[in-house]
Amino acid sequence: MRRRQFLSLIPIPAIAQNGARDRYFARYPFDKWAEAGERAQLHWNVRIPAPQLSSHQRLAGRVEVQIESREIEKRRGRGELITFFQVEDSSGRRWRRHDTFSLATIPAGGKPKPLYYAQEFFIVPGDYKFSLAACDSKTSDYSFTQRTLRVSPLHNDPLPNAFANLPAIELASHLGMPDSWFQPYTRGRLNLPIETTRTVHIDVILNLTLSERTAGSLAAFRRNMNALVPALKVLSQLRPSQGALNVTLLDLTKRRMWEQKNVEELNWDRLRAPFAESNPGVIDAQSLAAKEQMTQFFWDQILDRVRTDPEGAEYRAVIVLSSPLFLAHQIKVEPAVPPRDARRRVFYLRYRPLPRYRAVPIPGDGLRPPATALPSDDLEKTLKGLDSKNFTPINPAEFRKALAAIMETIRAWIE
């Protein structure tokens, strides 16, 4: 997440506020500034791009504030700069947050760059008013502006009721990895019910393992998890009317797993450890010796979850979530495929978001879009024996369509 780009301008952490109370809004005359209207005693720029569907399957927006370097230069060595963020919905509810930046610690010989501040938030369709300010604590110089924003519903939304129980606004927290991927302080839940007439147990399995050619890359691991962890959080909010949902993380390289059963809400304090401790460039001798057995380990975990009780009435659904996985020199998986069973379904979500900026320039030809098609990967080949239904979304909108299709398949299957 792009945030503050400047030289030696030290931020002082602000208290996270998702409501209307923030002591800095009382310490400074923010409400009087609002009454007085627009002012620009500090040279700044404010931008509010249109909210977009995010990997959290929620509309995500951001406010961007940049204070020019000349303002930092002339104010260095004393006090602090405070930025104020307030958003108000159509019913008058307010959400506020401030941030502070020390001016006293900028070295005398340093050349400051512009101060860049961004506040990210989740939002639902509606009308909003944003009030933004920046103030020099020493001189009381300030700038203030107000902007309005209309957020429209998603066009042809395959999950039109998913936002039904969400708060109008939730402010994202400025966190380090892996917490920034999960956003543990946002409590809003998507409305994802699956109405069934019989009991269904859903297992969501997230593969943490990288493809062979990127196996030692921490950057590749972080890029994948930046999309997959929010997607896991979304899938954990599926709610079968009868049954339960389990979540499992798999590290195929080390043949390790982490599991949470009967999920009502993901226990991030417990599940964050594999993300925080992951070091893709390091592999122990025991894991290295068993590296050729990764697909076998994966297959064994799947089989454990798709077996049904011959005399039972419950259904089993397994949803595998992964980035594309291509492995080398794997021992052929022992098939041991259980007999076909109408009470079993397997879905493979191979999620590979493609940023727009990855288009490739071609001399004299403009831009060539990034390749969207991939051959079958090792997980897809492994799951073929279970007649898995495969999806390869490349952005949050396609992931949403795939999620809607999975939910409808489960619902129709168990009518």
Domains of the chain: 10-171 (2.60.40.10), 191-413 (3.40.50)
Q: Which amino acid is at 34?
A: A
Classified as helix, coil or strand, 72 is helix
pLDDT digits (tens, 9 = 90+) for 398-411: 999 999 999 999 99
Residue 76 confidence class, pLDDT cut points 50, 70, 90 = confident
Measuring CA to CA, which residue among 409, 384, 252 is closest to residue 322?
Answer: 252
Q: Which are the contacts of 64, defined by CB distance < 8 A and separation ≥ 6?
A: 46, 47, 48, 49, 116, 117, 118
pLDDT at 13 over 60: no
Instruction: Identify the residue with better confidence: 23 or 122.
Output: 122
Q: What pLDDT does 67 receive?
A: 94
Q: Would you report the helix, strand and coil content of the chain in percent, each value rounded to 5?
A: 25, 30, 45
- Give the whole-number percent of the chain exceeding pLDDT 70: 85
pLDDT of residue 363: 55
| Host H or E run for residue 142 | strand 142-151
pLDDT band at 230 (very low <50, low <70, confident <90, very high): very high
pLDDT band (50, 70, 90) for residue 180: very high
Strand ranges for 31-125 from DSSP E: 39-40, 44-47, 52-53, 59-67, 80-89, 94-102, 115-123
Helix axes 396-413, 218-235, angle to 10 degrees: 40
Q: What pLDDT was estimated at residue 142?
A: 96
Looking at residue 372, its pLDDT comes to 60
7: confidence class by pLDDT, cuts 50, 70, 90: very low
Residue 135 host element (H or E): strand 126-136
Give CA–CA dist 380/349, Å, rounded: 10
For position 290, what pLDDT does the model report? 59
Q: For residue 366, give the H/E element and its range.
A: strand 366-368
| pLDDT score for 11 | 39
Q: What is the pLDDT of residue 385?
A: 86
Please give the C-alpha separations between residue 45 and each of 103, 193, 247, in angstroms, as whole numbers: 19, 43, 44
Mean per-residue pLDDT of the chain: 86
pLDDT digits (tens, 9 = 90+) for 355-396: 654 445 555 555 555 556 678 999 999 999 899 999 999 999
Q: How confident is the model at residue 16 (pLDDT cuts 50, 70, 90)?
A: very low
**Both tokens assigned to 169:** 């606004």
Residues facing residue 238 across a β-bridge: 192
Paired tokens of 86: 């307030």
- State the pLDDT confidence band at 105, using cuts at 50, 70 and 90: confident
- State mean pLDDT over 255-270: 93
pLDDT interval class at 20 (50, 70, 90): low
- Tracing tokens 């993300």 back to the chain, one arrives at 275
Provide mean pLDDT across the span 339-349: 89
How far apart, in Å, are the Cα atoms of 34 and each of 6, 14, 93, 105, 380?
Answer: 28, 22, 16, 31, 57
Higher pLDDT, 360 or 94: 94
pTM of the predicted structure, to 2 decimals: 0.87
Average pLDDT, integer, range 23-45: 94
Q: Which of 17-21, 59-63, 184-188 has the lowest mean pLDDT?
A: 17-21
Q: What is the secondary structure of 159-179 as a DSSP string?
A: STTTTTT--SEEEPP---TTH
Q: Which amino acid, one-letter code, is at 281?
A: G
Residue 124 has pLDDT above 60, yes or no: yes
**What is residue 12's predicted lDDT score, i.e. its pLDDT?**
38
pLDDT at 186: 92
Comparing 333 with 314, the larger pLDDT belongs to 314
Closest CA to 202 of 126, 107, 278, 314: 314
How much is the pLDDT for 308?
A: 74
Radius of gyration of the chain (CA): 25
Query: Which tokens belong to 270?
Result: 């417990």
